[in-house]
Amino acid sequence: MRIIKYVLVIILFYSCTIDKSSIELFQRLNDSIQFKYAPDKRVAIYDISFKSEENILVLEGETDNAVALEELKENLADNNINFEDRVVVLPDSSVGEFVYALANNSVSNLRSKGKHSAELVTQVILGTELKVLKKHGSFTLVQTPEKYIAWVDNGGITFLNENKFKNWKDSERLIYIKNIGNSYQDEGFSMVLTDMVLGGKVKIIEELESSFKVEFPDGRNGFVKKEEAERYSKWLIHLKPSKELIESYAKSLLGSPYLWGGTSTKGMDCSGFVKTVYLMNGFVTPRDASQQILAGKIVDENLKLEGLKKGDLMFFGSKATKDKKQRVTHVGIWLGNDRQEFIHSSKRVRINSMNSELDIFDTWCSENYLGSRRYLDVEDKEFLKL
């Protein structure tokens, strides 16, 4: 970094214009800050570019990290470089006071771009708390609790200011504990209001004999059957994450369809399946398999299926070579039995084995096993605990 600063000074001393080679140097400095603060574009935004305008370096683009931008500006100033800051720090002015949002549907789809035809990259379930970064047309760029950044259709969320968000956090809420079901417009359950999925949360208005009267984020009122839900505060108090509970939730999802980008009981991809299972054990895990492998404690370093415990995450993909880095493309959950079984979402949620003598042996997973991680009883900043 010090060498780059010296070179910048020399260039500007002998040149009265900011030429192409100078811009390339500026970009190298910019790239180093991006690598430091936003190496993963899925969870951080640092999209800053440079241009020369009347012998002034003009900074353009956007970032969600004001500290990173300030470091860039300090480096430029230290080298006596004249610049103009036109970078937008998110949340931008389109957001106004509504800096938070709640998922308003049983499942809200998040996409790579602000349009319905864009790739489905993840989902959030009812009541998920989101940070709002910017709005564009009928879509909004949001950040999920696991820091994933993507676009959501405005119909799938309700916007909140600071006060309303605090009221939501302080309210008595309900968590849905059945895989799939419904809420109803009436106490007699004769008319469906909306569907519900495992882990969804709504505000409790009143506890009745056979139901909870609830309020959805957008203000709709409905009724949820008592046997299908619990008070969220009570559920949290009694939640005891364990290997057995992980297995129980994982097996309850057997047969659920595979859905690229899915994270709900309606359909899920491999890492979305892991995310759902661990959410009901009190964990907010990283979203993708390539992120999940960076969290937790490394186990089975020798890839011999030794030292694994039920509930450990198993990762699969392309192994590293002298020319290519390791590429993680799949994840499953080890079931810890003498049949070497694991459960994963591939075509559907199903159980396979690493034992070649069994009819449920998975050849691809066996040949592309990359190692395992343990989340239970591990403290790690890469995942949150409810």
Given the DSSP bridges, would you call strands 297-299 and 369-374 parallel, antiparallel or unpaired?
antiparallel
Secondary element (H or E) of residue 298: strand 297-299
Which has the closest alpha carbon to 375: 383, 386, 363? 383
Q: What is the pLDDT of residue 1?
A: 42
Per annotation, catalytic residue among 116, 136, 238, 330: 330
> Does the active-site annotation cover 330?
yes
Q: In 3D, which of 58, 68, 128 has the Cα closest to residue 100? A: 128
Cβ-contact 101, 133 below 8 angstroms? no
**C-alpha to C-alpha distance for 232 and 252, rounded to whole angstroms:** 21
* Domain 171-238 indexed as CATH 3.40.50.300: no
Of 116, 136, 238, 270, the catalytic one is: 270
**pLDDT, tens digit, for every residue of 140-190?**
999 999 999 999 999 999 999 999 999 999 999 999 999 999 999 999 999
Backbone angles phi, psi at 178, to 5 degrees: -100, 150
Query: Cβ-count burial of 122 within 10 angstroms (0-12 exposed, 13-18 middle, 19+ buried)?
Result: buried
Query: What CATH topology corresponds to 2-89?
Result: Histidine-containing Protein; Chain: A; (3.30.1340)
For the structural domain made of 243-385, what CATH number should be given?
3.90.1720.10
Maximum Cα–Cα distance for the chain, whole Å? 83
- 100-168 shares its CATH topology with 171-238: yes
What is the reported pTM?
Answer: 0.92
For domain 100-168, the CATH class is mainly beta
Q: Where are the domains of the chain?
A: 2-89, 100-168, 171-238, 243-385
Burial of 144 (0-12, 13-18, 19+ CB in 10 A): buried
- Phi, psi dihedral angles at 310 (to 5 degrees): -50, 135
At 39-96, the pLDDT tens digits run 999 999 999 998 888 888 899 999 999 999 999 999 888 877 788 999 999 999 999 9
